[in-house]
Structure 1
């Protein structure tokens, strides 16, 4: 979500063509969805299965837009993201970004001007993340079909976190990685030992937490005084999972975030020994998306999880 650039998808001048939520320029489609005049919309590229655009209302308000390509059938991925953000947002002081509008083909968010991360912003993020988690969920999973990136994610509600994590977060992506040839049968047997041992490795998961579900550092946008979260795979889950993923690819001022989180909602004893267990899910997803480049890290995480940290 950075500055505008590139060519115009609709110049906003001259006679307005009939508005339709599917056809027409992106500016026209957004005008229908928002019921406001959009002056321009600029395509900025693509990510996974969707296009990225920047848009601007005639009053100067800037927008960030994700949309399925023209002609592509609705997949549910943008619906899942929008519902997840709205659900995460129904918490006091939620760090989730606001949703301005959405339908099954388009998601409209505020345009964010990012700042350099500071220790103070990290501390505020830790407190707000704890508040979001502790708001809780009715169950593990969610009431809508899930996605993590472009991949489907089984959100079938469950009251049993070890079984939920093993069968709905680990095993499906392990099978997919094998089918794609990114992991060998020998690799799979290593990870399956963790899948089978989740009840013994998990500790007490506590009640379902309201988790982001895909909280790597790229989904944290820093502002002057705090940070906002984007691109969730939101569901009722284990609150240690979000913190483990923040550590997986590195987050500025991570220790400050974690300390502030612990002040607001102390983590259970032994949480450090479970970091690798929680990181195994996003690593398997990365293997499915990006291939064997993540194979070694995934196997290391599996062996670490089996050792208990």
Structure 2
């Protein structure tokens, strides 16, 4: 293999964002994390990472919100690369170029998607060939959402949200996402939750039975009626403008509206792709969001894209 060939090598990986169809939050454990019960759906708003040759481990970021993403030690993709290198004994470098689409600090797990994509990209780029199960174990040490972004589709998450059980579902779900330029800190939202609900109940998976039945039936009307987020009021406390965003989406006929994860992105479920576009237009016209996205789900998790040059 020539030096020119090496210089041109590139592995590209795409990982989705997520929406929590249901998020139930219990008490904070001794490790500082809350016990959760959540139903994830991966949606077609993607992060893309290109792994290229480099003398060291480094990251760069492209996209409209690139300036908001750290490129130092706090970057989850860089942490993922370092973790995989240490785990496998690799001492090669890599340049990870992130192209962002998932909102930054928006409750859709963009940073976790970067970490999942980085694990898959570096594994292919370095030829370490770890099984998905082993990658998932590494992913869980990087963040509670990272294992799900490796898996994709629909899953029930327990523990911190990182203990996953794949869930059966039928049909496609079409979403409009109302995005705010100013994100919310996930720890701040959980702190606000603690202040609002000082003695929450331990989440009960029985609460998700009706939602799981609706997903298996492929019934978006029932799914929309069952959307739930225990963190929603905490997000509203920190960003009161969300009340108007939620109301506009509801008035526009959404099947269901919910703050996505820790917010402040608002997820509105449409009857069809066209209706999702109409919901996005309604939020834009009302001036209650800074930008909008439309997407569908469920979609697969982090995957190497065709044309990549893996070892």
Q: TM-score, normalized by length of structure 2?
A: 0.29
Structure with the higher fraction of residues in helix conformation: 1
The one of the two structures with greater contact order (alpha-carbon pairs below 8 A, sep at least 6) is 2
**Higher Cα Rg: structure 1 or 2?**
1
Provide TM-score, normalisation by structure 1: 0.29
